[in-house]
Amino acid sequence: MDPFQKIRIDKESNEHMYMQVYKSIVDLIKQGMIKSNEKLPPIRNLADLLGVNNITIVKAYDILEKRGYVYKKVGSGTFVNLIDCYEGFHEPIEGMDSGFDQMDRGQIQIHTDMISFSSATPTPDLFPVEDFKTLLIEILDRDGGSAFGYQESQGYYPLRESLVSYLKQYGINTSSSHIQIITGAQQGIDVISKAFVEHGDVVIVEYPTYTGAIATLKSRGAKIIEVPILSDGIDIGKLEEKIRAYKPKLIYTMPNFQNPTGYSYSNQKKDQLLRLAHKYNVLIVEDDYLSELDFNGYPTTTLKSMDTQDVSIYIKSFSKVFMPGLRLGFLVIPSKLHPQVLAAKHASDISTSGLNQRAFDLYLRKGIWKRHIHFMKKVYEERFEIMTRCLNKYIIPLGVHCSIPQGGLNFWLCLPPGCSSLELYKKCEENNLLILPGSIFSPYEKESPCFRLSIAGVYPNEIETGIKKMSEIISRMISGEDVLSKHPYFPIL
């Protein structure tokens, strides 16, 4: 029997018909009555079968796609996703959306009286504005209009040379021909995806992972497989299983101070990851957005510095220790892969701003970056220590789990079983506190008891006030005194 004939729609129900169709199809998938890669009926056929209009089916298919149950192939139809994509998937709590609608992938409205633990971006008072002003004047006097012309797509040559010396200090030996300048690490993820990921290709990510990578990979039509990250790095056993099962194109990883968990891979795990990539011929994409911020002398060795087989692309962002608005980063790429990356970069924006590249080149050559990193480390270290003290004093005793990282900007906390971080997010938001709920760090918006707190956007004097208030909210949630209000306030984004 055609499984879709089992679907019953109750037109008198208060539940929207598209939700009824959506839920019925999810049930059919979960019961194994529709299999991975099986095609769903064309919209009109299913609408006729169920006696509803086409829009109802379109909406149901859209939600199935958004939640990772199906994927669409232009011109061919809608297909059931790999079962693994929603392994462990939990439906969002009734009456609450997933949190994406408010946060729109990292966009969140912050009122001035809010304490924001949500932002991993430095506060503008930390930017080296005066140094930069001097450098810009020097460049304009030196280069005049050339600073404003189109630049070489690979990047301004003197900057690539400066980066070669910069990288030596982090144990990466490379040459300027392997460096590709990018307009921020986010563009790096995007051009790599453009170059190597085709619709339907499998990409492995850590679970949880960086929202910007999820957005990019989804936009390429990648099938995203999640492998849990543990406090010493990705679960290597599970990773090998998934590599064997799905033959991924890429593994996207943040080996140092991972976003959102703050966890770092042990050197042993870094080594195991490189070996697996070599053994199964999978490309690793290492996103190094923060390795400078080690606070306890923790070894933040990059994978790239250990990569003797050239199986990885290294992405470097300067946004967290310099100025995010400069939109500058770079890649170190195995030479055989560079032509594809260069073509993707050219297709994206032709070249990164010449003025910014020149200014950053001088910034490196004059050694100003060393002074600034030292300053940023001191600022963040103070916040990190206050946060660690406050979590130990107010939050962890409530039964909330947190494995304190060795550095970086993020802390990953998990509420006791049965508590929802989305509910906590909403309660906090009603109390002028911002956190990020765990669901946004999964492509499948998995409901999660975990949430991220970041120290980048809070001042030292706000941390204790905010964490104390949060502990009261959590305490009420755990004791069941505080049920979610029926009409919570949602920020307009």
Ligand X SMILES: Cc1ncc(COP(=O)(O)O)c(C=O)c1O
Closest by CA to 197, choosing from 314, 341, 305, 309, is 341
Q: Is the peptide bond before 260 cis (omega within 30 degrees of 0)?
A: yes
How far apart (Å, rounded) are the C-alpha atoms in residues 134 and 132?
Answer: 5
> Where does this chain touch ligand X (CB under 6 A) — which range of 31-39, 85-93, 181-189, 190-198?
181-189
- By CB under 6 A, the count of residues binding ligand X is 14
Told to check if 287 binds ligand X by CB under 6 A, we report: yes
Told to check if 411 binds ligand X by CB under 6 A, we report: no
- 440 contact partners, CB below 8 Å, separation of at least 6: 98, 99, 100, 103, 105, 106, 211
Cα–Cα separations (whole angstroms), residue 140 to 130, 133, 136, 251, 364: 16, 11, 6, 41, 17
Told to check if 185 binds ligand X by CB under 6 A, we report: yes
Closest by CA to 445, choosing from 153, 204, 89, is 89
Strands of 185-242, DSSP E? 202-207, 223-230, 233-234
Closest by CA to 442, choosing from 291, 257, 229, is 229
Told to check if 186 binds ligand X by CB under 6 A, we report: yes
Looking up tokens 């379109």, which residue turns up? Answer: 58
Which CB, 80 or 437, lies closer to ligand X?
437
Told to check if 433 binds ligand X by CB under 6 A, we report: no
The answer to whether 52 and 17 have CB atoms below 8 angstroms apart is: yes
Residue span 257-286 as binding mask against ligand X, x where in contact by CB under 6 A, dash where not: --x---------------------------
Which CB, 81 or 410, lies closer to ligand X?
410
β-pairing, 312-317 vs 329-332, is antiparallel
Told to check if 408 binds ligand X by CB under 6 A, we report: no
Which CB, 151 or 352, lies closer to ligand X?
352
Which CB, 233 or 324, lies closer to ligand X?
324
Q: State the nearest-atom distance from the C-beta of 269 to ligand X, in Å.
A: 18
Q: Is the peptide bond before 449 cis (omega within 30 degrees of 0)?
A: no
Told to check if 120 binds ligand X by CB under 6 A, we report: yes
Q: Which of 78, 319, 420, 454 binds ligand X (CB under 6 A)?
A: 319
Which CB, 119 or 448, lies closer to ligand X?
119
Told to check if 322 binds ligand X by CB under 6 A, we report: no
Looking at residue 420, the DSSP 8-state letter turns out to be -
Q: Which of 103, 192, 250, 254 binds ligand X (CB under 6 A)?
A: 254
Told to check if 351 binds ligand X by CB under 6 A, we report: no
Told to check if 324 binds ligand X by CB under 6 A, we report: yes
Told to check if 210 binds ligand X by CB under 6 A, we report: yes
Which CB, 287 or 292, lies closer to ligand X?
287
Q: State the nearest-atom distance from the C-beta of 387 to ligand X, in Å.
A: 18
> Where does this chain touch ligand X (CB under 6 A) — which range of 18-26, 39-47, 173-181, 316-324?
316-324
Residue nearest ligand X by beta-carbon distance: 184
How many Cα atoms within 13 Å fall on the side-chain side of residue 193?
28
How far apart (Å, rounded) are the C-alpha atoms in residues 444 and 313?
Answer: 26
Told to check if 317 binds ligand X by CB under 6 A, we report: yes
Residue 368's CB is within 10 A of a number of other CB atoms, namely 16
Q: Which residues bind ligand X (CB under 6 A)?
A: 120, 184-186, 210, 212, 254, 259, 287, 289, 317, 319, 324, 329
